[in-house]
């Protein structure tokens, strides 16, 4: 299929040509005609599939035609994070550059006066994060009665972040006869219920499983004994000259800060990215990363969600995520735009159950690797057998062939032990 077959408005077609896109991606080929027909749509697609254009192009098609009088937005796109909102707004600018229309962002962490000014005049398209939009809605500063198209981007993440009520409240302030497009990487019960409340007779599109999506990424796991062991392995791995740029994921914001500072103190160009930083600091860090001034970004899941940066050669999970979806999102930060990438995960014995979930979700068994001189003394228990991995009845984890190199050297051997033992962290800190 070609873009010409989609019969797009000449100005949009021209903008796409300027972007150099030869053909629509699979999600675009399926979603754009459906969305143009006016139907509601549920699309399962991850970042990197071209999903943003799949909803922005139909949105712009609407805006190319005159709408009713009024000042509120005709198209409203909700995203979970400010970073994703910025990327969506970027796409609006790119694909809408030859159209006459007004758009803007309403996101947290940005000054109110600019947003109030934006909302005082007629605006065609708004990209927003739910929290700040609710703020304006409750103060009567935004009128959503003109919304023709509501898009929920990365809706699964919005639910994870606790925005369910906010999304419902925002949708309730828009006309019932609107069109709704829902994009999500996963479809579970809460998502199905949300879709049931907000969409009418939707068509469904599912594009590529995570497995197919990550063929360009080499995945490795390292079994770790404790926190000190992890640090030693990280320092060793970061000496690899094939790392162009890496994102290192930590479980908590505080760990991200500590780890970034530790690497920086060791003379590496490292910086942290997490949700407690001001918007200005986050933007600066991302600019430095894009310009290559930062080589190692230590990030939390929320902050790194949806980051579209080419040139990330390695992703390192300093802490293994508990949700399989997060694993897939994390490793998807590398191997982008036709490049290959490496994803390395540290797995502690306490992570066995999460590792099992990840391998089940991705349908892939990831090889365990060891670093000479830094071999672990621990073994991975089989989850669900032998008392949840603690103590007796341990058996090596069946999947992945994690057996130590030089088997027999084990038990209390030369592997490093640190004073700081591995600490399991509570969910609330994440």
- Residue closer to ligand AMP by CB (options 87, 219) is 87
Check if the beta carbon of residue 150 is closer than 8 Å to that of residue 76. yes
Residue 186 touching ligand AMP (CB under 6 A)? no
CB 58 → ligand AMP: shortest distance, Å? 14
Burial class (CB in 10 A: 0-12, 13-18, 19+), 353: middle
Among 41, 51, 126, 214, binds ligand AMP (CB under 6 A): 51
Residue 378 touching ligand AMP (CB under 6 A)? no
Q: Which DSSP helix (H) or strand (E) runs through 114?
A: helix 112-120
- The vertex-361 CA angle with 31 and 80, nearest 5°, equals 50
CB 309 → ligand AMP: shortest distance, Å? 10
Residue 224 touching ligand AMP (CB under 6 A)? no
For residue 182, the Cα-to-chain-centroid distance in whole angstroms is: 16
String of contacts with ligand AMP for each residue 279-308, x by CB under 6 A: -----------------------------x
# residues near ligand AMP by CB under 6 A: 12
Residue 80 touching ligand AMP (CB under 6 A)? no
Check if the beta carbon of residue 32 is closer than 8 Å to that of residue 60. no
CB 337 → ligand AMP: shortest distance, Å? 7
CB 241 → ligand AMP: shortest distance, Å? 27
- Which string of DSSP letters, residue by residue, matches 408-430? TS-TT-S----SS---PPPGGG-
Token duo for residue 358: 């990840």
Residue 21 touching ligand AMP (CB under 6 A)? yes
Nearest residue to the partner ligand AMP, using Cβ: 52
Q: Which stretch binds ligand AMP (CB under 6 A): 23-31, 182-190, 194-202, 418-426?
A: 23-31
- Residue closer to ligand AMP by CB (options 229, 336) is 336
Nearest one of 311, 361, 340, 336 to 185, comparing CA atoms: 361
Residue 28 touching ligand AMP (CB under 6 A)? yes
SS (H, E, C) 122-181: CCCEEEECHHHHHHHHHCCCCCCCCCCEEEECCHHHHHHCCCHHHHHHHHHCCCCCCEEE
Q: Which stretch binds ligand AMP (CB under 6 A): 17-25, 74-82, 169-177, 349-357?
A: 17-25
Among 12, 15, 42, 53, binds ligand AMP (CB under 6 A): 53
Residue 213 touching ligand AMP (CB under 6 A)? no
Among 52, 129, 180, 345, binds ligand AMP (CB under 6 A): 52
Residue 25 touching ligand AMP (CB under 6 A)? yes
CA dihedral 140, 121, 115, 180 (to 10 degrees): 70
- Residue closer to ligand AMP by CB (options 297, 352) is 297
- Residue closer to ligand AMP by CB (options 27, 263) is 27
Residue 50 touching ligand AMP (CB under 6 A)? yes
Residue 49 touching ligand AMP (CB under 6 A)? yes
**Given phi > 0 = left and psi -120 to 50 = alpha, else beta, which region is 412?**
left
Q: Rounded to an integer, what distance in angstroms lies between the CA atom of residue 276 and that of residue 75?
A: 30
Residue 168 touching ligand AMP (CB under 6 A)? no
Q: Rounded to an integer, what distance in angstroms lies between the CA atom of residue 195 and that of residue 88?
A: 22
CA end-to-end span of the chain: 43
CB 215 → ligand AMP: shortest distance, Å? 16
Q: Which stretch binds ligand AMP (CB under 6 A): 5-13, 19-27, 129-137, 187-195?
A: 19-27
For residue 396, the Cα-to-chain-centroid distance in whole angstroms is: 32
Q: Which stretch binds ligand AMP (CB under 6 A): 46-54, 69-77, 200-208, 266-274?
A: 46-54
Residues whose CB falls within 8 Å of the CB of residue 118, separated by 6 or more in sequence, listed in order: 104, 106
Check if the beta carbon of residue 339 is closer than 8 Å to that of residue 357. no
For residue 386, the Cα-to-chain-centroid distance in whole angstroms is: 35
CB 183 → ligand AMP: shortest distance, Å? 9
- Residue closer to ligand AMP by CB (options 54, 137) is 54
- Residue closer to ligand AMP by CB (options 50, 202) is 50
CA dihedral 43, 87, 74, 130 (to 10 degrees): 80
Among 44, 47, 79, 186, binds ligand AMP (CB under 6 A): 47
Binding site for ligand AMP (CB under 6 A): 21, 24-25, 28, 47-53, 308
């Amino acid at each position: 299929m070609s873009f010409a077959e989609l019969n797009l408005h000449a100005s949009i077609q021209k903008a796409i040509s300027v972007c150099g896109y030869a053909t629509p991606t699979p999600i675009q080929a399926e979603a754009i005609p459906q969305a143009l027909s006016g139907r509601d749509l549920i699309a399962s697609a991850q970042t990197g599939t071209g999903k943003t254009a799949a909803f922005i192009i139909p949105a712009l098609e609407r805006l190319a035609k005159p709408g009713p009088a009024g000042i509120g937005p005709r198209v409203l796109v909700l995203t979970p994070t400010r970073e994703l909102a910025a990327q969506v707004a970027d796409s609006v600018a790119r694909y809408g550059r030859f159209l006459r229309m007004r758009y803007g962002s309403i996101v947290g962490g940005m000054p109110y006066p600019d947003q109030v000014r934006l909302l005082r005049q007629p605006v065609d398209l708004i990209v927003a994060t739910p929290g700040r939009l609710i703020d304006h809605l409750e103060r009567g500063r935004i009128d959503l009665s003109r919304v023709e198209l509501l898009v929920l981007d990365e809706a699964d993440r919005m639910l994870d972040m606790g925005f369910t009520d906010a999304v419902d409240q925002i949708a309730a302030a828009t006309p019932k006869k609107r069109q709704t497009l829902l994009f999500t990487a996963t479809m579970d019960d809460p998502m199905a219920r949300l879709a049931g409340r907000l969409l009418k007779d939707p068509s469904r599109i599912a594009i590529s499983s995570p497995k197919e999506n990550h063929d360009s990424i080499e995945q490795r796991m390292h079994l770790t004994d404790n926190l000190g062991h992890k640090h030693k392995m990280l320092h060793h791995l970061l000496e690899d000259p094939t790392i162009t740029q890496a994102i290192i994921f930590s479980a908590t914001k505080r760990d991200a800060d500590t780890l970034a500072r530790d690497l920086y103190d060791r003379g590496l160009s490292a910086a942290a990215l997490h949700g407690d930083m001001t918007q200005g600091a986050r933007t600066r860090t991302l600019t430095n990363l894009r310009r290559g001034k930062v080589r190692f970004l230590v990030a939390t899941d929320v902050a790194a969600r949806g980051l579209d940066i080419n040139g990330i050669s390695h992703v390192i999970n300093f802490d293994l995520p508990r949700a399989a979806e997060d694993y897939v999102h994390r490793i998807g930060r590398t191997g982008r735009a036709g490049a290959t990438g490496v994803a390395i995960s540290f797995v502690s014995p306490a992570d066995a159950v999460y590792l099992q979930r990840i391998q089940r979700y991705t349908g892939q068994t990831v090889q365990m690797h060891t670093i000479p001189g830094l071999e672990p003394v621990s073994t991975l228990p089989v989850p669900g057998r032998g008392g949840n991995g603690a103590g007796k009845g341990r058996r090596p984890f069946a999947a992945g062939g994690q057996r130590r190199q030089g088997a027999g050297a084990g038990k209390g051997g030369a592997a490093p032990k640190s004073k700081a033992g591995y600490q399991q962290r509570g969910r609330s800190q994440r």
